[in-house]
Structure 1
Amino acid sequence: MNTTELVWFKSSYSGTGGDNCVEVAVRPETVLVRDSKDVRRQPLSVSPAAWADFLGHTAR
């Protein structure tokens, strides 16, 4: 998977320091999550339904 062609979004909960960020890229079939400090590592891949469930639990 070529993750350099994806559009990554920084988490709104990440600090302003720029070095402790969670980034997310959304594709129709999967949601990718990575640590901005280690972009060479394979990102976590979850289904859109699992990502929606996760967001639903964090918003409470």
Structure 2
Amino acid sequence: MNPPESPLVQWRKSTHSGAHENECVEVAELTGHIGIRDSKNPAAGHLTLARQHFTSLLAHLASQP
């Protein structure tokens, strides 16, 4: 289970989500880690990654066709 979030956490929607898309992802800085969640269901929780793993994930996704 994820630890409780600080009320100061600023979730940001991915710029790739678009204005009318249903596949929306949000990210937030979580004290040295990065949180990733579904913007349509934020109460379902979030995935927490170390910054280095988040960077690796982004690099991997960017290399996909």
Separation (CA, whole Å) in 2 of partners of 1:54 and 1:43: 16
What per-residue deviation string (whole Å, max 9, x for no partner) do you get for residues 16-40 of structure 1? 1164310000134210000011011
- Structure 1 spans left out of the alignment, 5+ residues: none
Q: After the TM superposition, which parts of structure 1 deviate over 3 Å for at least 4 consecutive aligned residues?
A: none
Given the two structures, how large is their TM-score scaled by the length of structure 2?
0.75
Identity of aligned residues (%): 30
| CA root-mean-square deviation | 1.8
Structure 2: give runs of 5+ residues left out of the alignment: none
Q: Larger C-alpha radius of gyration, 1 or 2?
A: 2
State the TM-score, normalized to the length of structure 1: 0.81
Deviates more, 1:14-23 or 1:34-43: 14-23
